[in-house]
């Protein structure tokens, strides 16, 4: 299953604005993905939104802000690819139970294909794999389900 | 007066029919004897064609004989004197050729002088130095006025100097040497039979070392007819003293006694004997079973080797003995690198039951069998440092004690501790930096983990400086070999605690989330790690892309929150 096979939706659970500036700067949301009658959600995610410049032509007065506006801001915000030096994530020490030249040694790990990701990509990957798991478990005849009297 | 005329005979003269004078003037015929005329006696030495008178001839003969002795005044006598040898000159020349000239020469035969007190003396005319060989009474003498050298080739074999010292350049083979002075040399050798047999050699090498060598050596004391052996070294190198050995030190081999284990066999102490000092005669007892019992302390400048599998014990019936290590410069328990692997390079602390309590490998890997109680910090500040355990109760940082600038949590930069006092924050100040502590929290996909964090924004808030001071906070996943996990190249859930979080200056960010399971293996909603994650590692991108913001990580806690079922609302969802 590809990411493109999944339909993702945002549910705004809570939207907060700054008391002094009046700008929306925090959103608590649920991010859901649906494919092949399976829906997976990650709830209670908090995303902080940047303050806007009131002088900008794209600035929207708070009273005119719609849910679609917030979702668009939210989508843009969680789509930002966050980067850092991936070598900082590498373990440089020698794992004692492996030979020093073992390619499994973390010092020899090939991180050249590592892709810096956005939070959105991370959640989408989680949802994709979980849907795949659910679809696979549907075929499990031994799965236990609650009996309702 | 008669006039003198020349009388000329032409065509000869014949008398009585016999030619007397030929036409050419020659007197012919043998009839001079009958010539009865006389002639004048010419002066001695006249040498012409004139007739010689008898007187002239007598004078000439007398002058020829001169004063020759009577026995040698005739040619016959002279001939007899030279043994009628017509080749007398050759005979004499040949005879002289066999004689040695006074100016010197080479003799082809022997020179023998047989006389009373014969003497040959060589004198250097320039130095008057002499060498004489003579026989005087019963003595045969070679006498030199200065140093006497006996040379082979051009090199001296024996030199006797003016002080009558003798120097031998080669080996001296002798039946016996008797001297009232010194006998000096680089090597002296005595032997019986062939030279390769038993022998005693006294010699010195070029380095000035002096040696006594022999198949066996015995040092005897006493008169020659009653001497006894006091010290002997046999062919195996064993030494035997018949008396007491007194020395300021005993050296075996090339170093002090005991430094080479193979030399211990050379010192045998029988019958539970002792090694002691003047004041402690029983300082060390060597028992017949091989145990060494020290009466006092043992001080070592070197090592104690347990290569034979031995142990160091402090046996006690009362439990009061301690194994005390005390050194001003610090105690080092070192694992020696001997090329072996495995347990040979382990340093172990074990119970009396041999159960392992604590071990350190040569590569620095340490293992504690039970709990590790830390009264201070458990610091993983080294670049390769990390912290992991099979059972994770809680990981927490924050509430650091007050201190000065320090380097902590694996970040190479120093940071300043700040204490907010009544404001409640305390910790180390971070600017735009990444916090990736060398701490690895065991992660089980069947456990629910609660992650809590708090950040205090010290400066550079969103409210006052626009887009600065954003924070991303979460964890990264690692597999069982500490390789960073990234499914499809995407690292999972680095930012489950905070994403694009902004905090106003002077305020806290407080977040709690839960985490459970692996993506692709658990079907529940919520936050999960990549499949295969067995360690999670805290991650904070502090003041992301900010040039001026500073924040304090005032707390970060990871703790297990039970085994909530996948379909429970608390399983892997955010609080």
Query: pLDDT tens, B169-181?
Result: 877 777 777 778 7
User: What is the nearest CA distance from B566 to chain A, expressed in angstroms?
Assistant: 12
pLDDT at B573: 52
pLDDT digits (tens, 9 = 90+) for B54-94: 899 899 999 989 999 989 999 999 999 999 999 999 999 99
* Average pLDDT rounded to a whole number, residues B215-241: 87
pLDDT at B196: 62
The closest alpha carbon to B324, from B306, B351, B345, B297, belongs to B297
Interface contact flag, B490 A104, Cβ < 8 Å: no
pLDDT at B193: 65
Residues of B in contact with A91 (CB under 8 A): 384, 386, 440, 478, 482-484
* Average pLDDT rounded to a whole number, residues B120-134: 93
Q: Which residue of A has its CA nearest to B529?
A: A126
Asked if residue B575 has pLDDT above 60, the reply is: no
Asked if residue A75 has pLDDT above 90, the reply is: yes
Is B139 or B39 the better-scoring residue by pLDDT? B139
Asked if residue B121 has pLDDT above 90, the reply is: yes
Using pLDDT thresholds of 50, 70 and 90, give the confidence band for residue B555: confident
Asked if residue B334 has pLDDT above 70, the reply is: no
Residues of B in contact with A109 (CB under 8 A): 483-484
Q: Which of B472, B483, B525 sits opposite A82 (nearest CB)?
A: B472
Q: Left if phi > 0, otherwise alpha if psi is -120 to 50, otherwise beta: which for B230?
A: alpha
pLDDT at A7: 97
pLDDT digits (tens, 9 = 90+) for B264-319: 445 667 778 888 777 887 889 888 888 888 888 888 787 777 777 677 776 655 55
**What's the rounded Cα separation, in Å, for the pair B402 and B274?**
61
Interface contact flag, B524 A130, Cβ < 8 Å: yes
Interface contact flag, A130 B522, Cβ < 8 Å: yes
Using pLDDT thresholds of 50, 70 and 90, give the confidence band for residue B327: low
Q: Which of B478, B499, B511 sits opposite A119 (nearest CB)?
A: B499
**What's the rounded Cα separation, in Å, for the pair B291 and B273?**
11
Share of chain B above pLDDT 70, in %: 73
Pairing mode, if any, of strands B284-286 and B274-275? antiparallel
**What's the rounded Cα separation, in Å, for the pair B573 and B513?**
7
Using pLDDT thresholds of 50, 70 and 90, give the confidence band for residue A73: very high
Contacts of B116 (CB under 8 A, 6+ apart): none
Q: CA torsion sign, A126 to A128 to A131 to A132?
A: negative
pLDDT at B384: 57
Using pLDDT thresholds of 50, 70 and 90, give the confidence band for residue B143: very high
Whole-structure pTM value: 0.49
Using pLDDT thresholds of 50, 70 and 90, give the confidence band for residue B569: very low
Select, from the ranges B80-94, B226-240, B458-472, B481-495, the one with the highest average predicted confidence (pLDDT). B80-94
* Average pLDDT rounded to a whole number, residues B477-485: 90
* Average pLDDT rounded to a whole number, residues B392-410: 52
pLDDT at A35: 95
Per the listing, tokens 């991370």 go with: A122
User: What is the nearest CA distance from A16 to chain B, expressed in angstroms?
Assistant: 13
Give the lowest-confidence range in A61-65, B492-496, B524-528: B492-496
**What's the rounded Cα separation, in Å, for the pair B385 and B367?**
14
Residues of A in contact with B485 (CB under 8 A): none
Q: Which of B360, B413, B481 best tests the A interface by mutation, with the highest count of A CBs <10 A?
A: B481
The closest alpha carbon to A78, from A112, A126, A36, A40, belongs to A126
Q: Which of B380, B430, B519, B534 best tests the A interface by mutation, with the highest count of A CBs <10 A?
A: B519
pLDDT at B531: 85
Give the lowest-confidence range in B20-34, B421-435, B489-503, B548-562: B20-34
pLDDT at B89: 93
Q: Which residue of B has its CA nearest to A19?
A: B463
* Average pLDDT rounded to a whole number, residues B381-410: 53
Interface contact flag, B481 A98, Cβ < 8 Å: yes
**What's the rounded Cα separation, in Å, for the pair A72 and A80?**
13
pLDDT at B120: 92
User: What is the nearest CA distance from A113 to chain B, expressed in angstroms?
Assistant: 6
pLDDT at A78: 92
Is B188 or B431 the better-scoring residue by pLDDT? B431
Query: Please, what is the average pLDDT of chain B?
Result: 77
* Average pLDDT rounded to a whole number, residues A76-104: 87
Residues of A in contact with B498 (CB under 8 A): 46, 48
Pairing mode, if any, of strands B217-221 and B210-214? unpaired
């Amino acid at each position: 299953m590809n990411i493109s096979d999944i339909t993702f939706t945002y549910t705004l659970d809570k939207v907060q604005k700054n008391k002094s500036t009046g700008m929306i700067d925090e959103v608590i949301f649920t991010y859901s993905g649906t494919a092949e009658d399976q829906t997976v959600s990650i709830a209670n995610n908090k995303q902080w939104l940047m303050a806007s410049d009131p002088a900008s032509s794209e600035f929207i007065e708070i009273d005119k802000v719609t849910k679609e506006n917030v979702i668009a801001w939210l989508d843009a915000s969680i789509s930002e690819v966050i980067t850092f030096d991936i070598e900082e994530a590498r373990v440089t020490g020698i794992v004692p139970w492996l030979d020093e030249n073992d390619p499994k040694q973390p010092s020899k790990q090939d991180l050249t294909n590592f892709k810096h990701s956005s939070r959105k990509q991370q959640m989408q990957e989680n949802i994709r794999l979980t849907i795949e798991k659910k679809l696979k478990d549907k075929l499990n005849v031994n799965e236990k389900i609650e009996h309702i009297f | 007066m008669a006039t003198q005329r020349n009388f000329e005979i032409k065509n000869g003269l014949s008398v009585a029919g016999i030619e007397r004078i030929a036409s050419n003037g020659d007197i012919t015929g043998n009839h001079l004897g009958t010539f009865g005329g006389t002639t004048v006696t010419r002066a001695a030495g006249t040498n012409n064609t004139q007739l010689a008178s008898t007187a002239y001839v007598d004078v000439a003969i007398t002058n020829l004989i001169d004063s020759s002795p009577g026995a040698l005044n005739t040619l016959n006598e002279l001939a007899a004197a030279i043994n009628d040898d017509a080749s007398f000159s050759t005979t004499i020349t040949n005879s002289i050729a066999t004689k040695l000239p006074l100016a010197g020469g080479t003799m082809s035969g022997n020179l023998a002088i047989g006389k009373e007190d014969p003497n040959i003396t060589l004198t250097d005319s320039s130095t008057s130095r002499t060498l004489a060989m003579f026989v005087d009474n019963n003595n045969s003498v070679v006498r030199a006025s200065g140093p006497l050298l006996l040379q082979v080739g051009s090199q001296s074999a024996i030199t006797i100097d003016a002080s009558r010292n003798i120097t031998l350049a080669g080996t001296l083979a002798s039946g016996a040497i008797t001297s009232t002075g010194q006998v000096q040399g680089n090597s002296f050798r005595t032997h019986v039979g062939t030279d390769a047999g038993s022998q005693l050699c006294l010699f010195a090498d070029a380095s000035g070392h002096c040696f006594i060598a022999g198949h066996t050596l015995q040092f005897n004391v006493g008169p020659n007819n009653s001497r006894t052996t006091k010290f002997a070294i046999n062919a195996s190198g064993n030494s035997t003293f018949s008396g007491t050995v007194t020395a300021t030190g005993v050296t075996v081999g090339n170093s002090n006694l005991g430094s080479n284990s193979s030399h211990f066999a050379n010192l045998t102490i029988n019958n539970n004997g002792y090694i002691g000092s003047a004041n402690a005669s029983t300082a060390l007892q060597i028992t017949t079973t091989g145990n060494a019992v020290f009466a006092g302390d043992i001080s070592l400048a070197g090592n104690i080797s347990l290569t034979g599998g031995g142990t160091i014990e402090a046996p006690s019936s009362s439990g009061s003995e301690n194994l005390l290590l005390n050194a001003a410069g610090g105690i080092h328990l070192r694992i020696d690198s001997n090329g072996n692997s495995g347990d040979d390079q382990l340093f172990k602390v074990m119970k009396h039951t041999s159960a392992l309590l604590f071990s350190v490998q040569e590569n620095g890997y340490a293992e504690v069998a039970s709990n590790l109680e830390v009264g201070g910090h458990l610091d993983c500040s080294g670049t390769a440092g990390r912290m992991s355990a099979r059972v994770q109760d809680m990981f927490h940082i924050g509430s650091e004690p007050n201190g000065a600038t320090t380097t902590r949590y694996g970040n190479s930069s120093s940071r300043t501790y700040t204490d907010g006092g009544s404001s409640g924050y305390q910790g180390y100040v971070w600017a735009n930096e990444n916090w990736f502590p060398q701490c690895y929290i065991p992660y089980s996909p069947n456990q629910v983990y609660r992650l809590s964090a708090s950040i205090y924004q010290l400066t550079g808030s969103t409210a006052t400086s626009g887009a600065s001071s954003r924070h991303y906070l979460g964890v990264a996943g690692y597999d069982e070999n500490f390789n960073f996990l990234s499914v499809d190249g995407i690292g999972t859930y680095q930012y489950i605690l905070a994403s694009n979080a902004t905090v106003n200056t002077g305020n806290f960010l407080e977040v709690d989330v839960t985490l459970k399971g692996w993506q692709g293996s658990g079907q529940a909603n919520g936050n999960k790690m990549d499949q295969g994650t067995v360690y999670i590692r805290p991650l904070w991108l502090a003041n992301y892309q900010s040039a001026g913001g500073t924040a304090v990580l005032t707390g970060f806690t990871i703790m297990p929150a039970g085994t909530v079922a996948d379909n429970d609302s608390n399983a892997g969802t955010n609080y």
